[in-house]
Amino acid sequence: MLELSNDELLSTTRAVRKRLDLERSVDRDIIEECLKLALQAPNGGNMNNWHWLVVDDQKTIARMAEIYNQGLEDFIATFGEQGYAGADVLGADRIESSTQHLRDHFHELPAVLLPMVAGRTDQAAGYPGAAFYQASIWGSVIQAVWSFMLALRSRGLGSAWTTGHLWREQEMADLLGIPYNNFMQVGLFPIAYTKGVDFKPAHREPLQNVLSWNRFEEQ
């Protein structure tokens, strides 16, 4: 099997937490530029059922940090310190210390993106076409968020996908004036320059462990 070069592997993006530069401010222009690129992503029926909220007000970010941390506490109270992934997940130690670092410094972030998508999938389970409905809604925003993260990366900035605060989604909606019943929140995305741009390829299960050809086969 052909091996990919590091450069090719790094054309995607790593979760950046410890190396977010909290001392450096980020211009709104660069964030809007990355969002314009993000909006080129495909979305179901081209309905543009998304909304993008960027917070750069430090007091609001500090309150968001509290909700984020409380959300993660709820998660830990429900699933335990290791979460549902367990301790044997690839790179568990690194993830834990990096996640803790972001928790400790979230309130210092220069800006945070909170993407939303119209509609709620919480009640969809059990209805006919539930998988179609859920995949269509989430698939209509996640690709744009990923494009945003890649656009940040190509400009020397970084982010990390986080969903911890969604344990307290309603609280975040109340803080930011989001109509909870009409918009589902995707997560919180730190926005900051990175300290250096020399990232390593991600630890992942090798392709042959997760690939089937022609018929599903569990390895």
Q: Contact residues for ligand FMN (CB under 6 A)?
A: 14-15, 17, 95, 99, 102, 160-164, 202-203
Query: CA distances (Å), 214 to each of 66, 211, 217, in order?
Result: 48, 10, 9
Give the amino acid at 217.
E
Distance between CA atoms of residues 113 and 99, nearest Å: 18
Q: What is the nearest approach in angstroms of ligand FMN to the Cβ of residue 202?
A: 4
SS3 of residue 154 by DSSP: helix
**Between 115 and 164, CB nearer to ligand FMN:** 164
Q: What is the nearest approach in angstroms of ligand FMN to the Cβ of residue 187?
A: 6
Helix (H), strand (E) counts: the chain = 7, 6
Chain residue at closest Cβ approach to ligand FMN: 164
Contacts 24+ apart (CB under 8 A), 88-97: 90/203, 90/204, 90/205, 91/203, 97/18
Q: What is the nearest approach in angstroms of ligand FMN to the Cβ of residue 186?
A: 9
**Between 71 and 110, CB nearer to ligand FMN:** 71
CB-CB contact of 130 with 45 (8 Å): no
Report the Cα–Cα distance between both ends of the chain, in Å, rounded.
18
Give the amino acid at 207.
L
**Between 110 and 165, CB nearer to ligand FMN:** 165
Q: What is the nearest approach in angstroms of ligand FMN to the Cβ of residue 131?
A: 18
**Between 33 and 108, CB nearer to ligand FMN:** 108
**Between 28 and 131, CB nearer to ligand FMN:** 131
Q: What is the nearest approach in angstroms of ligand FMN to the Cβ of residue 142?
A: 9
